[in-house]
């Protein structure tokens, strides 16, 4: 456009640091250039469609994309942190039997800027409603992040950049259902963010039943990939484990999990299950969950029980699914 080079820096700053969505608001850019930009370009910003507030202060938002697709994201406030849970795909191509998103079709991957915009919008909600900025980001919303690898990594690069949101990589966690070759690629790329694996069974027969992705990514393949990842990054891994009633809630299941944990430095987050209408799974009883956690701790496994947030607005883990309304 034959403009001076510093204009590019100004516009970049407006787009990524100030998260501007309108050329008219770029006040230090000449009016003539703003008109030229608006004539030639469009800012495909993500917009909040609607938000729901849980009794536990969790906020779930549906976000509208430029092509009218809808995704969901969640703000999870806690005493010591303010976490954004963001989506990486419109829908999901995996068919995990216990997850509402798994019953949706995958329409497309999100672009890096669409993931970035979710973080910006949820940060704005945190500041507006709780006067506290975001402290953490989890890629645990709709979609499988490692099947949108390039855009997920590009979004994190921008989020952590000092010419972006300047958040620390160690405050970001990417959660995967377990794609061995992509876990190895994370190792090759020596990523600095945290990795979580949705495990939910340390037994191939049981894991195949609830997570068909395991048929091509067996526990043996995942263990090898995780060891490779750790050798490259020295980052411990978090295993997420939902204890389902009468499925994976016995001490034998805990013993299998403890054995799997010996492969690499790790911790286990036991997650409360949130039943969905599509599936018959139920959360195990409190006594079973506590006995399961106690067994792991006695085996030397760093174990935490995570209570669900936002259940009353379908914002809890495994509940994100855009409900079509007439």
Angle between helices 180-188 and 219-233 (to 10 degrees): 10
Cα separation, 240 vs 54, in Å, equals 23
The residues with which 172 forms a beta bridge, in sequence order, are 137
CATH (residue range 45-313): 3.20.20.70
Cα separation, 249 vs 272, in Å, equals 12
The domain segmentation of the chain, as residue ranges, is 1-43, 45-313
**Residue positions annotated with a catalytic role:** 72, 317
Cα separation, 142 vs 222, in Å, equals 22
Type and span of the H or E element at 207 = helix 204-210
Is the domain defined by 1-43 classed in CATH 1.10.150.530? yes
Burial (CB < 10 A; 0-12, 13-18, 19+), residue 124, is middle
The residues with which 198 forms a beta bridge, in sequence order, are 240
Cα separation, 181 vs 325, in Å, equals 38
Are the beta carbons of 287 and 34 closer than 8 angstroms?
Answer: no
pLDDT at 274: 79
Per-residue pLDDT of the chain (326 residues; tens, 9 = 90+): 889 999 999 999 999 999 999 999 999 999 999 999 999 999 999 999 999 988 889 999 999 999 999 999 999 998 889 999 999 999 998 988 888 887 888 899 999 999 999 999 999 999 999 999 999 999 999 999 999 999 999 999 999 999 999 999 999 999 999 999 999 999 999 999 999 999 999 999 999 999 999 999 999 999 999 999 999 999 999 999 999 999 999 999 999 999 999 999 999 999 988 777 777 888 889 999 999 999 999 999 999 998 766 566 555 554 545 554 32
């Amino acid at each position: 456009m034959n403009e001076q080079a510093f204009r590019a820096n100004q516009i970049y700053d407006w787009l990524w640091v100030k998260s501007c969505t309108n050329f008219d608001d770029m006040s230090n850019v000449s009016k003539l250039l703003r008109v030229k930009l608006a004539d030639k370009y469009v800012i495909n910003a993500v917009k909040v469609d609607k938000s729901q507030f849980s009794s536990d202060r969790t906020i779930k938002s549906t976000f509208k994309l430029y092509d009218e697709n809808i995704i969901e994201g969640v703000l999870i406030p806690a005493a010591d942190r303010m976490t954004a849970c963001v989506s990486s795909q419109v829908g999901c191509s995996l068919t995990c039997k216990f997850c509402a998103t798994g019953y949706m079709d995958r329409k497309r991957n999100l672009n890096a800027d669409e993931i970035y915009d979710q973080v910006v919008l949820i940060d704005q909600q945190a500041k507006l409603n709780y006067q506290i900025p975001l402290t953490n980001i989890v890629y645990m919303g709709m979609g499988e992040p490692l099947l949108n690898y390039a855009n997920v990594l590009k979004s994190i690069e921008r989020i952590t950049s000092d010419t972006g949101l300047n958040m620390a990589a160690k405050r970001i966690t990417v959660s995967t259902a377990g794609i061995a070759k992509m876990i190895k690629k994370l190792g090759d790329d020596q990523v600095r963010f945290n990795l979580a694996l949705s495990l939910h069974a340390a037994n191939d027969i049981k894991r195949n039943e609830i997570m068909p992705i395991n048929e091509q990514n067996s526990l043996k393949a995942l263990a090898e990939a995780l060891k490779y990842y750790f050798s490259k990054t020295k980052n411990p891994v978090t295993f997420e484990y939902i204890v389902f009633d009468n499925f994976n809630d016995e001490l034998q299941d805990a013993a299998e999990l403890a054995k799997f944990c010996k492969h690499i430095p790790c911790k286990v987050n036991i997650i409360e299950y949130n039943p969905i209408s599509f599936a018959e799974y139920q959360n195990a009883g409190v006594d079973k969950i506590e006995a399961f956690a106690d067994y792991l701790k006695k085996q030397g496994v760093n174990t935490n029980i995570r209570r669900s947030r936002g259940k009353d607005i379908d914002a809890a883990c495994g509940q994100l699914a855009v409900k079509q309304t007439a």
